[in-house]
Amino acid sequence: MKTVRYGEFEISVDIEKTREYYRNYKISDTQANRNFAKYCETLSDEEREFFDAFAIDPVCCDIEHIGVSKKGDFPCGGYYFVCGEYIKFPPEQLLTIEELTENDFTDDRPDPRIDIGLFQFDFQCAEYACSDIPEDMPEGFICIRFWCENMKWLLDEEPEVHMYEPPHFWEIRRVLKERRERREQEKTDLEEAKKDFCRAVENIHTQFHIFDKKEVRAYQKAWVDAFSPSAESRRKIKKLCVSRRRFTPFLWHMFSYEFLPCKEKEEARTAYFKTDRGGCVLFDNIYRLACHLENGAALTPEVLDEFVDVTVTADDFSWTYSKTHEEYCGPYFYKK
């Protein structure tokens, strides 16, 4: 393990596991990724030193962008994953709407991002309420988000996506501000959904355990591993069922995309309620909330109707049942 320090962050990094992650990374062949890779061929010493400190291969990421301007500007960003854990990190400085109003709507909090060359790096800590961590981050890793506001279009080919508006700095900041506000609203919605989920679970007449974030991620990975029909299909299934980066994910996409044959509609519902149900996991597909129930039989038809979109799975993954929010999808039931 290697200790890396940047700003107020101190991180213990497993260099070998991080290198292994990037050796096995499959880079998407998109224009944005190719343009970013071209810039990475000429990294400055300062930029290269940062990536080397964490054993990051800089081209191994999925580039997010808002298009190319008429002047050839290409603001873009993405996420890097590093195997390790935080030793020290600064306290999160949250700002309420009341405090913002009192300060004449001026956010004067110190910028937590670290400027290195063309990059602005932002360490995402799971302990923060407003962290931005992709769902498909591997277990035991931390997330480093980056943004390159002054990136240029370097490829000879014509860009596929153009900016709708000129890339004035205030317009770019507006886009980023809207994204940040959207994430904060999602956090608020998630907290409300979690309270509702906990209240509903408390009314089920059996012992239960509410999962934390780490347990939820572990359960999703175990579910995909348990029901994927082959190793070749697992990567695509993970994108459809778990990753939030390009799709709206639901575990039941395993069945709606026909990776596995299963019972559907009323036949699925009948088969599920006839199944001998012991310990199981109840998973909310919309808000990524989960709990373990000691007695799955307590999930009667009336109780299950209280939930909008859930997947119920046996402790040993011998069966799984999904009730969906879609009129034409599901329910689905699969038994090994």
Report the alpha-carbon distance of residue 257 to residue 309 in Å, rounded: 17
What's the pTM value of the predicted model, to 2 decimals? 0.54
- The alpha helices in the chain, defined as continuous H runs, are 15-23, 31-40, 45-54, 97-102, 169-202, 213-227, 231-241, 253-256, 265-274, 301-304
| Angle between helix 231-241 and 213-227 (nearest 10) | 140
Residues 6+ apart with CB under 8 A from 303: 203, 204
Q: Can you name the residues that pair with 327 across neighbouring β-strands?
A: none
Q: Which residues of the chain register pLDDT less than 50? A: none
- Predicted local distance difference test score (pLDDT) of residue 59: 96
Contact assessment for residue 236 and residue 254, using Cβ atoms and an 8 Å cutoff: no
- Predicted local distance difference test score (pLDDT) of residue 334: 96
- Predicted local distance difference test score (pLDDT) of residue 186: 76
- Predicted local distance difference test score (pLDDT) of residue 166: 54
- Predicted local distance difference test score (pLDDT) of residue 313: 97
List the structure tokens of 81.
């994953």
Question: Structural domain boundaries of the chain?
Answer: 2-167, 200-335
Residues 6+ apart with CB under 8 A from 276: none
- Predicted local distance difference test score (pLDDT) of residue 252: 94
Among residues 73, 83, 191, the alpha carbon closest in space to that of 139 is found at 83
Report the alpha-carbon distance of residue 16 to residue 140 in Å, rounded: 13
Number of C-alpha atoms within 13 angstroms, CB side, residue 182? 6
